[in-house]
């Protein structure tokens, strides 16, 4: 049997994880300038297994609109190029046999609006994940009360704490989304 504090702590950890997943997803969304985070999570089919690009190459940004990918194994260049072309980044890899250069074209207003819509969609999914945690935690608290382990007042206090946590973590998601939208819309 678990106590109310353990249930609340578990719920808070799960809500925090939902925010971290959202933050990681935002890193992969392109803004007006180049960043290694755009491509480092790309899966490259390398010797038959999908491998994150950051494990196969060093990724840098020598210029504001260029990403430079230097594979550890020059034989993997074709595989990396294929992964970039198949991704939804819309970038064309340019290779000289040793390194791959990705030049980022400026974002059109239309593309910026699409990216903002995508950020809002991801934010909503993160908020839904947080609300699902709230629902699960509330069910566990209600179960404790039914079993007689806690009083109705304790249950109500615990549910209020869960609601406060939910508001707090939804607020974090909203802040992250607003900051990313602002970054996308700026030049």
Show me where the domains of the chain are located.
4-27+108-185, 36-103
CATH of domain 4-27+108-185: 1.10.132.20
Least confident of 15-19, 88-92, 100-104: 88-92
- Closest to 83 (Cα-Cα) out of 73, 93, 72: 93
List the beta bridge partners of residue 35: none
**DSSP class of 105:** P
Q: Please compute the mean of the pLDDT values over residues 52-75 and round it to a whole number.
A: 89
Q: Write the DSSP symbol of residue 58.
A: E
Residue 1: pLDDT band by 50, 70, 90 thresholds? very low
Rounded distance between C-alpha atoms, residue 50 and residue 43, angstroms:
5
Tell me: pLDDT of 187 over 70.
Answer: no
Strands across the sheet containing 100-103: 57-63, 66-71, 100-103, 93-95
- Tell me if the pTM is above 0.85: no
Are the beta carbons of 104 and 63 closer than 8 angstroms? no
Please state the separation of Cα 1 from the chain's center in Å.
34
Torsion (CA) 164, 167, 169, 170 in degrees, nearest 10: 170
Alpha carbon distance 184, 92 (integer Å): 21
Q: Please provide the CATH number assigned to the domain covering 36-103.
A: 3.30.1360.40
Instruction: Compute the C-alpha angle 35/41/44, nearest 5°.
Output: 120
For 92, the token pair is 């064309």
CB 27, CB 37: distance < 8 Å: yes
Region 71-99 average pLDDT: 86
């Amino acid at each position: 049997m678990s106590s109310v504090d353990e249930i609340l702590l578990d719920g808070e950890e799960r809500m925090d994880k939902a925010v971290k997943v959202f933050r990681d997803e935002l890193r992969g969304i392109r803004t007006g300038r180049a960043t290694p985070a755009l491509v480092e999570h790309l899966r490259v089919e390398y010797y038959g297994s999908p491998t994150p690009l950051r494990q196969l190459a060093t990724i840098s940004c020598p210029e504001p609109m260029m990403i430079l990918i230097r594979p550890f194994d020059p034989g993997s260049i074709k595989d990396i190029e294929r992964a970039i072309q198949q991704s939804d980044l819309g970038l064309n890899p340019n290779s000289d046999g040793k390194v791959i250069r990705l030049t980022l074209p400026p974002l059109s207003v239309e593309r910026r609006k699409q990216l903002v819509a995508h950020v809002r969609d991801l934010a909503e999914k993160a908020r839904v994940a947080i609300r699902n945690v709230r629902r699960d935690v509330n069910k566990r608290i209600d179960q404790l009360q039914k079993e007689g382990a806690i009083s109705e007042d304790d249950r109500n206090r615990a549910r209020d704490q869960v609601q406060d946590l939910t508001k707090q973590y939804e607020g974090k998601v909203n802040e992250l989304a607003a900051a990313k939208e602002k970054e996308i819309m700026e030049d």
